[in-house]
Amino acid sequence: IEKRSDRYSNSNFKTSTDCLSKSTLVVPDSRETTAEKITVCYIYNPDLVERSDELPKIPMRASMVHSLIEAYGLLKHMQVISPSEATLEDMKQFHTEDYLHFLGKIADEDDENFDEESHQYGLGYDCPVYKEVYKLACLVSGATLKAVDILISSEARIVINWFGGWHHAKRDSAAGLCYVNDIVLGIQRLRQRFDRVLYVDLDLHHGDGVEDAFCTTNKVLTVSVHKHSPGFFPGTGSVTDVGVGKGKYYCVNIPLHDGIKDEQFVPLVCRILTHVKDRYKPEVVVCQCGADGIAGDPMESFNLTPVALMKCIYLLLSWNLPIMLLGGGGYNHANTARCWTYITGVVLGRKLACEIPDHKFLMEYGPDYELQIEVGNMKNHNSNEYLQRVYRQVTENISHIV
Ligand SMILES: O=C(CCc1ccccc1NC(=O)c1cccc(C(F)(F)F)c1)NO
Ligand SMILES: [Zn+2]
């Protein structure tokens, strides 16, 4: 029986010239083990995907992610769990009644123009108003809450919800394409069972909605690594942003500039996460795996490959704590599907073929039709001196964690 500490142990962390990139993690094919002892739950149902497909700015992305995971034959190695919709009561644990009622009103009344009211709830250009938005909010929140229930009941210790991770939403408004903050709702519920929650945000953007929700408490430690440049959304998340009151030093921000590559990103993030683990001793981990920092994303910011995200997640998995993996940004839909499918494969300890298998969306993966993503070659504005300075400031902040 393969133990989790074996599957994700560093000794297993072999790199090899696999198709994904020159240094790729190759874990022993789990067929070698007599039986998979590690249960991985995958949150999915057709409604959740259909509604997520309707999200403005990422049309059909959810279907592409799920279809690629299915095409690689990974569903049979996971417990596929169908979530129910969150209730108004569930969402009121974070969001205001006014905001939720407004979302609900959009669904009920027809083409009444909500223009003036919309803006006070952050709806409009960045977060377009659309009829089914309340339904989406219930499904997405329900999915993450279901994932949390699985961790709380110890049914599994690894749960994946690629349809969640909407880290910008505020208690009384939508923001940055996020209509409901499923992550905050999930962490609030985790706190009913776990004393110390670690939140890690790997998305290109600062996880401001989650940080704001927990910046005054030491019961949730948020770590966000993100692009931090003048005028880049949301603009928060500087290294001096450490939290307030009892939460002071329990917000960790790793601000980066354009062009960072795996080789700089992985050591910086993994060293910081290791310091955080040693000092904070979290009991459960939530990781937002936004893929808009991957090379080829229209955000055109970072030069990461999926291997970078995978190596950070692999470190988190090696801690042998209950963990929830969530989606997030990612606007090159094929690359986002490639990234999250690759991560799903690694979590399962399965090597994936380089060739994208034939499936409904195969044409989206041309012209190479490969799982690998070419390393980006945008100019790197992160000097080693800059990264050293950030690392020193962050570790100095972390040293105050008791
Ligand atoms: O990815 C995000 C939110 C990104 C965002 C924040 C605020 C306003 C708009 C956006 N999203 C975009 O700008 C966006 C979304 C989809 C596709 C594009 C594209 F133009 F880069 F393709 C851009 N958070 O993790
Ligand atoms: Zn993002």
Residues 359-374 have pLDDT tens digits of 999 999 999 999 999 9
* CA dist., res. 72 & res. 341, Å (int): 8
Q: Tokens for 145?
A: 């809450």
Atom of ligand 1 nearest to the CA of 57: 16
What mean pLDDT do residues 300-304 have? 98
pLDDT digits (tens, 9 = 90+) for 51-75: 999 998 999 999 999 999 999 999 9
Q: Distance, CA 55 to ligand 2 centroid (Å)?
A: 14
**Taking the model in full, what pTM does it have?**
0.94
Atom of ligand 1 nearest to the CA of 203: 25
Q: Distance, CA 176 to ligand 2 centroid (Å)?
A: 8
What mean pLDDT do residues 352-356 have? 98
Q: Distance, CA 290 to ligand 2 centroid (Å)?
A: 6
**Beta-strand pair 79-81/251-256:** unpaired
Q: Report yes or no for ipTM above 0.85.
A: yes
Ligand 1, residues 233, 288, 326: which to mutate, most atoms within 8 A of Cβ? 233
Cα four-point dihedral sign 8, 388, 380, 297 = positive
Please give the backbone phi and psi of residue 42, each rounded to the nearest 5 degrees, phi first. -120, 120
67 contact partners, CB below 8 Å, separation of at least 6 = 337, 359, 360, 361
pLDDT digits (tens, 9 = 90+) for 218-254: 999 999 999 999 999 999 999 999 999 999 999 999 9
Please give the backbone phi and psi of residue 69, each rounded to the nearest 5 degrees, phi first. -60, -40
Write down the number of H helices and E strands in the chain: 13, 10
Name the active-site residue from 66, 77, 95, 168.
168
What are the strands, taking DSSP E only, across 39-166?
Answer: 40-43, 79-81, 158-161
* 31 pLDDT higher than 50: no
291 contact partners, CB below 8 Å, separation of at least 6 = 297, 306, 309, 327, 328, 329, 330, 332, 335, 336, 339, 340
- In 3D, which of 123, 120, 153, 150 has the Cα closest to residue 136? 123
pLDDT number for residue 8: 86
Ligand 1, residues 204, 226, 301, 331: which to mutate, most atoms within 8 A of Cβ? 331
Q: Is 359 a catalytic residue?
A: no
pLDDT number for residue 34: 40
pLDDT number for residue 116: 78
Q: Are 242 and 270 in contact (CB under 8 A)?
A: no
DSSP letter at 12 equals G
pLDDT digits (tens, 9 = 90+) for 155-176: 999 999 999 999 999 999 999 9
For every residue of 184-236, DSSP letters joined together read HHHHHHHTTT-S-EEEEE-SSS--HHHHHHHTT-SSEEEEEEEE--TT-TT--
Q: Are 221 and 280 in contact (CB under 8 A)?
A: yes
Ligand 1, residues 170, 299, 302, 326: which to mutate, most atoms within 8 A of Cβ? 299
Q: Which residue's C-alpha comes closest to atom 1 of ligand 1? A: 329
pLDDT number for residue 309: 98
Pocket of ligand 1 (CB under 6 A): 57, 126, 168, 176-177, 203, 205, 233, 290, 292, 298-299, 328-329, 331
- In 3D, which of 287, 370, 302, 377 has the Cα closest to residue 335? 370
